[in-house]
Structure 1
Amino acid sequence: MKTSLRTSAALLTLSLALTTGVVSAAPAATNSNQTKAAQSKAGTSLSTYSIAINGAAITDTGFQPSGTKEPLIPLRTVAESLGFKITWNTATKAVDLNKGNIFTTVKSGQDRYVINKMYTSLGTAPLTKADKLYVPASFVSEVLHQTVSVEGKNIVITSAAEHVLETGVITAIRNSGNTSSIQIKGTGTAGIVLNVSGDTVYEKADGTKLALADLQIGMTVEAEHAMFATLSLPPQTPAYRITVQDTKVQADVLGTEGSLEEIIKAEDSSLSLRIKGNALSDLSQSEIVLRLTDDTLLVNESGEAVEQSALVQGNTVIGFYSPVMTRSLPPIGTALKVVVETVQP
């Protein structure tokens, strides 16, 4: 039988196995020798492990081939018990896993796993044994973000708490087709990026439903997001719910982040701030003077109110304002909200 026919037959076998509850990953031609060697090694392993998921023992067992640093566990049985959906991706010849905003892909023989859109290595490649795909036990914690522990010859897996609440002021909204995100609590490499999807819920504090298009920079939001985040700067994490905390919502908000160059006090004792730095949107200014009014909100990165005394020349602030401003240089507008960067002691 020709090589192409053998490969096609292997892919067909794997596709049928997925539909009947058995994961069988077809190795790419370049990895065939590596996969066969791993399978041979797995077949000689005598070290088996029992597996319990959320307090219930499962029939399938794990095993640890000689030369590996940790035991391997059956992917389909474990992942489905934790609520993940598993599909075979014929284009990539890999197994895709999805649950809410958690997505990853696994390919037999490749120590390369997707974690929140970034690749990482666990030190042990997945392998196929008896038509089942096995992954290292650390896959549960590092990739699926659940809890796993190895106690002697027992592997204990439990579903971890998935959500955490975090409040912050929106500094950027990015929407590019299939990838959308919201940055809060800072700009550039600061703060945190919330990756949103079609499953993310948007609403006001009173429960009124919103859409991503209703959100604007300058809004203070409470984000319900995953417990885990990437190690990038800023870190990224999936968001499940975004709740707008502001009672007054201004349309077409602009923003400028930068140094508080000058605090100007008028004859009537009112204050204006000259901010010079970076424009947060296309129509925003890199330098602007913003008048403070009784309605101007002074907050920190988390949206918590701060006193006017927190405004110190030279500190970094973010000023949010409407498009109505003078044509002077720099232009003058009215501050809707000013975020004062927290100064670490």
Structure 2
Amino acid sequence: MMAESGDTRETITVNGSMIEVKNALVEEMYTSNSRTGYLIISYAVAGENDMVNMELVQLNIGWDTILIDQFGETISLCSIVKGTYVNAAFSAVMTRSIPPQSNAYRVIAMLEVTSYVVTTDRIVRIDPDNHFVYTGNPNDERGQMRFLITNATKILDQNGAPITQADLEPGEMVRIKHASFQTASIPPQTNAYVIEVLPS
């Protein structure tokens, strides 16, 4: 099958006995228990005369397969639906079937963030080594929240321009869009999707 213009699917890279692909498109998913099953993905392959072709491969998902979202959170196979983009690492050893089958080592699914909570508060502490930003009561851990900054977290200044975690400072008022779940720790921890610095 031919690639369409504007397609973001990328070609594979081979590292010894492992194949890696970024932005592969899930064409089909099957699971009987929400944890094991398979994904059929399509990815780009360079052809002749600058043509780009699409190839299919069936990734067999076992109990040892790492299944996570773009924030590093463990997910179930049910979370990955047709049309989801994934980054995958799988065995270079494949069956001769159509499509070929391979055992998946790791699948990172780029899931749409459909549910989130917004917290507006002041930064009380920043832990750059562990990628945490703390908000809330500076004198009481039980009145604080700890937000994990991942590679997918967007950080914006007062004008909406992208900045880095190093640009954030204690005392700044921020609006944080974050996951609706949180750990039972003190302070509770959750993943930050977007951090916006507000006018003080």
Return the TM-score normalized by structure 1. 0.31
Name the one with the larger strand percent: 2
Name the one with the larger helix percent: 1
Return the TM-score normalized by structure 2. 0.50
Give the greater-gyration-radius structure (CA).
Answer: 1
Q: RCO (CA 8 Å, sep 6+): is it higher in 1 or 2?
A: 2
